Structures are given as C-alpha cells and as structure tokens.
Amino acid sequence: MYKKFQTKIFMTIKTAQTNEDYLKCFNVMQALRPHLTPELLLDLLPKMQAENYTLIFIEEDGKAVSACGFRYLTTLFEGRYIYIDDLSTLPEARGKGHAGMLFDFVVEKAKTENLRAVHLDSGHQRFDAHRLYLNKGMKIVYHHFRLEL
C-alpha cells in the first residue's frame, strides 16, 4: 500500500497515493500554503502527479505531521534534477527532525539516480527553514523572479 523508507530513528516515510492520504496531509500543507482548501488540494494533486509530483509524509499517532512534495525537472542548465515544491511540518511537531528526514530522503533518491542536484525555493521570511537548508549543505545561488498576472 505504501512505499516505505525507514529512517535512523524509526520514522516511516510514506508516499501519499490516495485521497485519504492527501487529506491526511492537508493540515501540514496548509501550514505552508494558507490559501489551500481540502477541495483545492484534491483538485490539484492528481494534476500535479500527472506532472511527476510525489508527496511523501511522516505520521505520528496516525496523523501526518510533516510532508514533502517534489518532482523531477530537466533543464539545459542543470540537466535532470529534483525540485522540492513543498516541505512543511506542523508547528506543534517542529524540532523533531521530520523535515530533515524528508529532505534527506529526497537527497538520497537523487544520489541513487545519479542526478546532479536538488533545488527548492523558499520564502524570504522562512528563517527556520533556511537554517535547515543551509545546515543540509544547500547554497543560496539564485534570485527567483515572479510576474503576477
């Protein structure tokens, strides 16, 4: 039913595959994406999965407490790599290493597949997240520009 990856401290990383799994991750994703509704989540995730998006999560007591969504991209600049769209932990579950475990899972996946890099964008105000990324060896290498339409 789930693809599992056992971490060093015995947290199981699961792959969300059903609407029940998606809804289990809703509160975690809404902590990062406050505009999100359950209906929008259920509408977008199948479309995103068709574009190679994978959602993984960690549970405590049957409740998702941390989640990470990523996809494979290929560009002329970087070749094939993994892009992390979403990495979130419920506020009450922070500080336990969940996001780091999910991040490490994605990095190991990229290494196993001989990919050149893992990328992500992070809001400029997310200082705790930035500390995690920098501690994991990531570097700030780009400015990300956006034109709202």
Q: CATH code at 17?
A: 3.40.630.30
Domain that holds residue 42: 4-135
Percent of the chain having pLDDT more than 90?
64
Which stretches of the chain are assigned E, i.e. beta strand? 4-6, 12-15, 53-60, 63-75, 79-89, 118-120
Provide the number of structural domains found in the chain. Answer: 1
* Window from 7-16, 66-75, 97-106 with minimum mean pLDDT: 7-16
Report yes or no on 9 lying in a domain: yes
User: Is residue 140 in a domain?
Assistant: no
Does residue 125 form part of some domain?
yes
Looking at residue 129, its pLDDT comes to 59
Q: Is the residue at 27 inside a domain? A: yes
What is the pLDDT, as a whole number, of residue 1? 40
Domain presence at residue 146: no
- pLDDT-derived band at 2 (thresholds 50, 70, 90) equals very low
